Structure 1
Amino acid sequence: MASAATATTQLSSPFRRSSKLNNNSNNNNDKALIRDRVMRGKSRYNKDDHVHNGGGGGGGGGEGLCWKRPSFMYWTLEDVVHVAKYHWMPCVFAVGLLFFMAVEYTLQMVPPSSPPFDLGFVATRPLHRVLESWPELNTLLAALNTVFVGMQTTYIVWAWLIEGRPRATISALFMFTCRGILGYSTQLPLPQGFLGSGADFPVGNVSFFLFFSGHVAGSVIASLDMRRMQRWNMAWLFDVLNVLQAIRLLGTRGHYTIDLAVGFGAGYLFDSLAGKYEKNKRRTLSNPHKEALLI
């Protein structure tokens, strides 16, 4: 009777260490109790509310933890205020999620017979009209943009060949290869009102991928490398020129807004991937001086 009473007491307190359950019968009962609690959906884990199987070494495994209640049932008003105060950015994103869910499910889609809607094109209509009526200005801006692309390319190659830092070059190679794959996979229609120029890069009005903008991504890659080297003035100059470049591309209808936005993100993404590639190679190279050879 005493043994049965002890076992009953221990099983009725499932959140305490059961150090005295040494026989197989009581261990099996303990495991069955844990499985029963988990199956009933008690998913909140508390470090003070758990059960360990007896023995400590061999038989317990992962079944020694019991989930209790759903997480939100522990929230208080103080917790909500804390989240709103110290995690305001995810809260703003949550509001944005709800807003754009409403927009998405109530907005009429653009029919196949109509040109795509682009908010950037709407915002740059005055610039488009000026460039359309003043071809010489369009050519001048195209030439300046080509110079800027040359600056990006020169810096990225210089960092590799002269300074022995290949990260920007690796990033650009990753980026342009991925751009080619995506650009060929989904070929967007040329925007209506496109204002090409023979002074633009690629030279002339040749075919090019719209998604995503290699102009913007390449500038971001160069700017990030400048910041790593603490060349702050050069980095800020490239950022300003990149913004002006994006405005010009919208004004000439050379890219959709989504091309430019993804171009900014792609620059950060592929710079990060190139950094991870370099870090991985440093672990495997026996001679770190060969890193600049891309070996």
Structure 2
Amino acid sequence: MNGGAASSSGDATVLKRRHTTTNQTNHSNQKNPMPKNSSSSLCSLYSSASFLKWTISDVVHVATHHWMPCLFACGLLFFMAVEYTLFMVPSSSPPFDLGFVFTRSLHRVLESSPQLNNVLAALNTVFVLMQTSYILWTWFIEGRPRATISALFMFTCRGICGYSTQLPLPQGFLGSGVDFPVGNVSFFLFFSGHVAGSVIASLDMRRMNRWGLAWTFDLLNVLQAVRLLGTRGHYTIDLAVGLGAGYIFDSLAGKYLEDSKLKIAKNSVNGHASKHDLVA
């Protein structure tokens, strides 16, 4: 009897241990499942790729409704071919500038007529003063500091870039004592503050629906760029980057003002509004 009871007790203990071991094994398998086949995962990833779902109608739609990115894609391929096949300009030669090539006739005229060069330089200086006056007017008179902040951002960055890489003065440079900055003083070539300042003023005019003034400034900016190339006062890249810089720093100034307004609103809610904020 006692032996049978002991045997039954032993069997129960063994079954209990087996049950515990099985549970532990199942629990371990749940924690550490078998890894899936990596190749099947890659196949699943590739099968769900977006480009596999493109159709001819999708391509036609992109080409007709998004022609500008398509044009830039063609430009990428074209200039890759140009870049990798052209002959590099040797260090002993002056830089090649396409703008100088297009304005050779104007350069010869200005070179042979210093008086005409001075007249155009004086008119360009008047245009720069117009830009400066308008940008300051928007802040001091109208209380809108965006254009002024844009100009401050732009000229600071221009100073950093111009000093960091000091380009050589272009061959055939035609200076003038009445050109801005007046007095034949030294200046940074990269990038053009003349062009960038005009763009900043023009963008502000557009925001205020002053379309006539904006188009006038754009036209004068084009004439200014042609004159600067004709006098060899700037390289083409200086003017191109100046154009982009005007847009970039205007956008940065706008973001700065938006962030400032959010801070002012937050401070006013908390009862810490300042009377000295420049942004109303």
- In the alignment, which residue of structure 2 is the partner of 1:218? 197
Deviation at 1:73, TM superposition (A): 2.0
Tell me, which stretches of 5 or more residues in structure 2 are unaligned?
1-26
- In the alignment, which residue of structure 1 is the partner of 2:278? 292
Matching residue's letter, 1:221: I
Counterparts of 1:11-50 in structure 2, within 5 Å, are 25=29, 29=33, 32-33=35-36, 37-38=40-41, 40=42, 42-43=44-45
- In the alignment, which residue of structure 1 is the partner of 2:6? none
Matching residue's letter, 1:43: L
Question: How far apart in 1 are the matches of 2:221 and 2:188?
Answer: 19
Contact conserved, 1:131 with 1:138, CA < 8 A, in 2? yes
Contact conserved, 2:176 with 2:184, CA < 8 A, in 1? yes
| Segments of 4+ moved more than 6 angstroms | none
Give the fraction of aligned pairs with identical amino acids, expressed as a percent. 72
**SS where residue 167 of structure 2 aligns?**
coil
Question: Structure 1 or 2: larger helix share?
Answer: 2
Contact conserved, 1:282 with 1:288, CA < 8 A, in 2? no
- In the alignment, which residue of structure 1 is the partner of 2:208? 229
Counterparts of 1:101-120 in structure 2, within 5 Å, are 101-120=80-99
Counterparts of 1:106-255 in structure 2, within 5 Å, are 106-255=85-234
- Residues 196 and 41 (structure 1 numbering): CA distance in 2 closer, same or farther, change over 3 Å? farther
Question: How far apart in 2 are the matches of 1:87 and 1:143?
Answer: 44
Choose between structure 1 and 2 for higher RCO, CA contacts under 8 A separated by at least 6 residues: 2
Aligned residues: 247
Counterpart check, 1:99 vs 2:78: yes
Q: TM-score under structure 2 normalisation? A: 0.83
- Residues 113 and 278 (structure 1 numbering): CA distance in 2 closer, same or farther, change over 3 Å? same
Deviation at 1:78, TM superposition (A): 1.8
Question: How far apart in 2 are the matches of 1:260 and 1:289?
Answer: 41
- Residues 174 and 41 (structure 1 numbering): CA distance in 2 closer, same or farther, change over 3 Å? farther
- In the alignment, which residue of structure 2 is the partner of 1:64? none
Tell me, which stretches of 5 or more residues in structure 1 are unaligned?
1-22, 45-67
- In the alignment, which residue of structure 2 is the partner of 1:88? 67
Q: Which has the larger radius of gyration?
A: 2
Matching residue's letter, 1:91: C
- In the alignment, which residue of structure 2 is the partner of 1:63? none
Matching residue's letter, 2:87: Q
Q: Write out per-residue CA displacement over residues 125-156 of structure 1, whole angstroms, 9 at most, x where no aligned residue.
A: 01000000000000000000000000000011
Deviation at 1:71, TM superposition (A): 2.5
- Residues 273 and 288 (structure 1 numbering): CA distance in 2 closer, same or farther, change over 3 Å? farther
**SS where residue 154 of structure 2 aligns?**
helix
**SS where residue 250 of structure 1 aligns?**
helix
- Residues 135 and 293 (structure 1 numbering): CA distance in 2 closer, same or farther, change over 3 Å? same
**SS where residue 200 of structure 2 aligns?**
helix
Question: How far apart in 1 are the matches of 2:35 and 2:210?
Answer: 64
Question: How far apart in 2 are the matches of 1:100 and 1:43?
Answer: 34
